[in-house]
Structure 1
Amino acid sequence: MPSTPTPRTRQLIEQLQLQPHPEGGWYREVFRSAGQVMPQDGRPARSALTSIYFLLEAAQHSRWHCVLSDEVWVHLEGAALDLWTWDAADGRLHSEVLGPVSTVTLPQHVVAAGLWQAARPKPGDAAGFTLVACMVGPGFDFSDFSMMSPGGSEARRLAADHPQLAPLI
């Protein structure tokens, strides 16, 4: 069930000029370096670094997706963020909680290139949203991005091994 956007969420979407993201939530690219690098995996030249704002409302999530470059997530404002990574090669699942520095949260986490990842605001947090910045290097290109296919082998395996995370597919 969709939630009603909070006044702060509406303000951030407008002020930061965010647009809907294909994986869920809202985003806007804010930096793309002019410098180019050649990825070691045979992809064509990419910007050295890209950066976006990414906002998830309370009822939204970032669907399971994979990026072929390293991605740094940095918590900026709002609810703590549950961030999961899953290695399809060995089935290892890892979780982090991003938020202000505390005994249970840290503000930053790096997702290694090629890992499946998904995220959602901590359920029940009064903020009603999470705002993060995501930096990708070599820079993000939609041709290096894939979302988990609901009927695919990865989705079936993830759902069987971690049924609580299947709704994020």
Structure 2
Amino acid sequence: MTTKQEYIEQLRLEAHPEGGWYRQVYHSAKSVYDQTSLASRYQYTSIYFILDGGSPSHLHRLLHDEIWYYHDGAPIVVHCFSPNGDYTAVKLGRNLSAGEQLQFRVPAGTIFGSEVTDPTSFGLVSCAVAPGFDYHDFELYTQAQLLPIFPEQADIIKRLAYQNLP
């Protein structure tokens, strides 16, 4: 089995501001003017992304849909807070009979973060965004911003939202 460090080295991943390690692998050859971003964006982008028990994907929001594709390691739980206030959790992994999914779409405008189910392990996924990811379309959240809105999810927010933005 490939280790987290071997994946990081072989895939040439670097630290991501939201947590974990990543590298953009692909983007479209063409760009388009995106009405939501009010700017030019690649038609799509795709990254490799690794999370572990010490480095989750902190709660953030994108202007566009993001599709997650599970590859290896421990299952990953994607925690989603929809714009209408609903909370859902989706587990990505190989055990389909236990309800895990191989891929999942996070709808645009959803506040979400992710963590591995085994804090001593890691999970490897790919993520695709269309129109393509751009940091101008990305917003990280703090605990102080989210706790008043979602008090019933305080445990998750305290694990996956920064106290202060990096």
Structure 2 partner of 1:72: 67
Report the Cα distance in structure 2 between the residues aligned to 1:36 and 1:101, rounded to whole angstroms: 37
* DSSP-derived class of the 1:162 partner: helix
The 5 A counterparts of 1:39-118 are: 39-41=34-36, 43-87=38-82, 89-103=83-97, 104-118=99-113
Q: Could you list the runs of 5+ residues in structure 2 that have no partner in the other structure?
A: 162-166
1:58, 1:130 within 8 Å by CA — same for their partners in 2?
Answer: no
Report the Cα distance in structure 1 between the residues aligned to 2:118 and 2:94, rounded to whole angstroms: 16
Pairwise CA RMSD: 1.8
Instruction: Report the AA paired with residue 121 of structure 1.
Output: V
What's the TM-score once normalised by structure 1's chain length? 0.87
Please tell me whether residue 164 in structure 1 is matched to residue 158 in structure 2.
Answer: no
Compared CA separation, residues 132 and 63, structure 1 to 2 (3 A): same
| 1:57-103 deviation line (CA, Å, top 9, x unaligned) | 2332100000111100000100011011102x421011110011511
* DSSP-derived class of the 1:151 partner: helix
Report the Cα distance in structure 1 between the residues aligned to 2:53 and 2:142, rounded to whole angstroms: 24
1:32, 1:47 within 8 Å by CA — same for their partners in 2?
Answer: yes
Report the Cα distance in structure 2 between the residues aligned to 1:39 and 1:95, rounded to whole angstroms: 29
* DSSP-derived class of the 2:108 partner: coil
Compared CA separation, residues 21 and 42, structure 1 to 2 (3 A): closer
Q: Could you list the runs of 5+ residues in structure 1 that have no partner in the other structure?
A: 1-5
Give aligned-pair identity as a percent: 33
Equivalent residue pairs, number: 159
1:62, 1:168 within 8 Å by CA — same for their partners in 2?
Answer: yes
Compared CA separation, residues 163 and 8, structure 1 to 2 (3 A): same
Report the Cα distance in structure 1 between the residues aligned to 2:89 and 2:76, rounded to whole angstroms: 10
1:73, 1:108 within 8 Å by CA — same for their partners in 2?
Answer: yes
